[in-house]
Every structure is written in C-alpha cells, then in structure tokens.
Amino acid sequence: MAVKEFKLPDIGEGIAEGEIVQWMVEPGQAVQEEDPFVEVMTDKATVTITVPWSGTISELKVAAGDIVPVESVIAVIETAGSAPAPAATPTTKETTTAPAVAANAAAPAAVASPVAPTAVAFEQASPGKVLAAPATRKRAREMSIDLHAIAGTGPSGRVTNEDLQAYVDRGGAVASPTPAATTGTSKSFTPVAIAAAGTEERVPFVGLRRKIAEAMARSKYTATHFSYVDDINVTELVKIRTEAKAIYADQGVNITYLPFIMQAAVKAMKQFPTMNSSLDETTNELVVKHYYNFGIATDTDNGLVVPVIRDVDKKSIVELAFDIQELARKSREGSLGVDDLQNGTFTLTNAGNIGGLFATPVINFPEVSIMGVHKIKKTPVVNNEGEVVVGDVMYLSLSIDHRIVDGATGARWMNVVKDLLETPQRLLLGSL
C-alpha cells in the first residue's frame, strides 16, 4: 500500500484559500477514482472535488468549516499502487457574491460580491481581504490583533505567525472593534459567544451562508450607503407588458417587468456614467465602465446568488427576458458556473413578488449602486386631465456608494429611469 497526501488544488485564478463545506467521505471508507470527495467554497465558486486515486481514506486533516490555504494537505489516502498522483479536477456546482443582496450584496462583494453581495464574484482585487492561514487568523483573534494593520511577509503578502509576534514586539496596538476606517477597509471583530437559554438548534455557520455574511459585512463597512426611493406610475408599462407576455407565451419566453427596467437603467447610465462604475482602492482610480452587465439577485433554497446578464445595452426586451429566465433556472438547479457570476457592474433585486412597500438594499460591492424593484399596486393617481383615477404604481429604491456617487446624481439618474418607465413607448422606440 502507498500513502498519498492530497493537497487542496488551485481551483481558480487568484484564489489563495478555500472553505471546506462538507466531506463526502469518511476515514476508513473505500473509494474509487472520480468518486465525490469534498466540497470547497472560495470567493468565486463552490466546487466539488473528486477522489484522485482509488483506495481507502486514511485521514481527513481538516473539518467542515475550516478555511484552508491552497496546497495544504487536507486528506491522506492509502492506495494499492504508487503511480504519480493525477491532478484533481474540480467541477463547479454553485456560485456566490454580494450582497445583495443583495445587496454584490446587496451583496455586497462580493460575491460575493456573492455574493455577493456579497456575496458577489469579481476580478479585481479585494482591498479588504487579508491572506493568512486559519491558525494565524485564530491566533490574531485571541490576541485581539487586526490583521489589516500588519504587512505580511509571507508568499503573496500572507500574514504569518512571525508577523504577528513582530507586530506585538513593536508595541502594536490591539484592534478596536469599530467600523471601517475612511480608507474603506473593513475591520475584524472579536467573536461573541452566545450562551444557551432554553430549547434551541445550532446549525454550523459555514458555506454559502457565511460567504453571504462576509460579503454583506464588507459592503456595509466599506461602501457609504445612501438610499433614494421614488414611486413610478407604471400604468402604461403594465399594458405593454401584458400584451408582450401574451404574444411570446407560446414561444416559451416569460416577459416580466425587469427587462424594461434594465433598459431604462442603461439609458440613464449613459447620461450619468458614474452610476456604472467602481472604485479600485489598490490604485485609487475610479473605473467607469462602458459595458453593462447587470446582476439579478436571486433567492434560492441554498441562499442568495447574483447571476449576471451581460451586454444589457445590446439586447432587446425579449432577449433580456430569455436570459433572465435561463439564469433563474440555473440558479434553482444549482448549475450556475463561475462565469455566470463574474464582472457585474450593477445589481437589481426584485422583492415585488414577496410583498412589502420598499426596502433599502445593500450594495453588491465593489459596484457602486443597486436598485430594489417592488410590488406594483393599484393606487389612486392624477392623470393629465387632473382627474383622480385608478393606476398602477410601484416603488423603486436605489442604494448608492456615497463615496463615489453624489446623492443628487443618484436622484437625477432615478428621474430618467422614472420618465422612461412612465412612458415605455420610448424604450421600445429606442430613444430618450
């Protein structure tokens, strides 16, 4: 028998560590090559890694919920032969971001932001992320040290135990449990123990739920949220959408209100470009984007995900409706790929089918804005003749990062969106 150590593989560009979501094997179990082995979550995706060799599981070196650096040994397998180890092939199962919600939500951002937010996924570096091994993170918490205050000397700037000790030897101050500093970097907090008080159930806070929490916290402690709400008379839009829905029903395309709102948002962004931007804190540059990739915050049985529809400005109402439908299906089935969640520039979160008047969504960091779409209700409105009639009214709620976008800019942007949705014929004609 040969004993082989299995190391956590590099499962994505720029990924330095992953969280063990669940083991699909146990010590002593006989396994075959390509059997499901372990589920790992990163900032960009959840992947299922298969067993690399046939044999018997000798040892699992980490537990579910542990955060493990890439190339760390996570399991030991006894095999019959001693052939060189083949590379493990991770397969994408489900992804996350920001926020969102959302926010990324929001979602923030991430994700992350799957996720986001917030857990929302994005390509640029996350300035709030500190590379450190789980043991180093634990030690820092025990010593009440903020890892953001330490310049790491390990590979890729990773903070090591020696860096912690050197920081203490220099008389470094302990971290203060306060929100982010004005630089936009989120702080660490001392964990709080919750004492048992009666009948209760404890569920491990791991996997997608924890990634969403991280994305939401990063967004709230980094982006300076400002919210703006307006009511929209969508009486004409309801008529047009009802007709379009009937026309395309037999073609298998469900025409919803979101494609109209997405097109209105794009046209407004072309007048106010900073609404489609982000702040690169590593270079202190405002990145104004001339592509329009909109995330749609989607509620699933496993938590909030924010799949992205690309090139919104180049697609028709029907094409956008089809894309929304397909992403919703993939979200429900858990078949979203990493590419489905990357490079979003703006997020929409639709709570109209649930209820409520309006909400203030959390930004899907590092995006600068997110818009909540809410329920359409029959409401008395005053028509052009000054008469009070029954109309269809909905609220749109906009959250913006006030570090980057002024409140007046957000309000003017919303005015353009409102005007287009109240006269939707202009959307169909392709003009402002």
Which pLDDT tens digit goes with each residue over 178-235? Answer: 333 333 444 455 666 666 667 887 777 767 777 777 778 888 888 889 999 999 999 9
Cβ distance 418 to 397 under 8 Å?
Answer: no
Element of type H or E holding 236 = helix 235-248
3-class DSSP state of 198: coil
Cβ distance 364 to 101 under 8 Å?
Answer: yes
Say how far apart CA 160 and CA 172 lie, in whole Å: 15
Percent residues over pLDDT 70 in the chain? 76
Q: What's the mean pLDDT in 379-390?
A: 90
Structure tokens at 117: 């937010």
With tokens 């912690």, the residue in question is: 164
Cβ distance 118 to 236 under 8 Å?
Answer: no
DSSP, res 65: T
Report the candidate in 413, 371, 410 with the shortest Cα–Cα distance to residue 394: 371
pTM of the model as a whole = 0.60
Greatest C-alpha distance within the chain: 89
Active-site residue set: 402
Among the residue ranges 2-6, 42-46, 254-258, 362-366, the one predicted with the least confidence is 42-46
Structure tokens at 208: 């997608």
Q: What digits encode the pLDDT tens for the residues 276-315?
A: 999 888 888 999 999 999 999 988 777 788 899 999 999 9
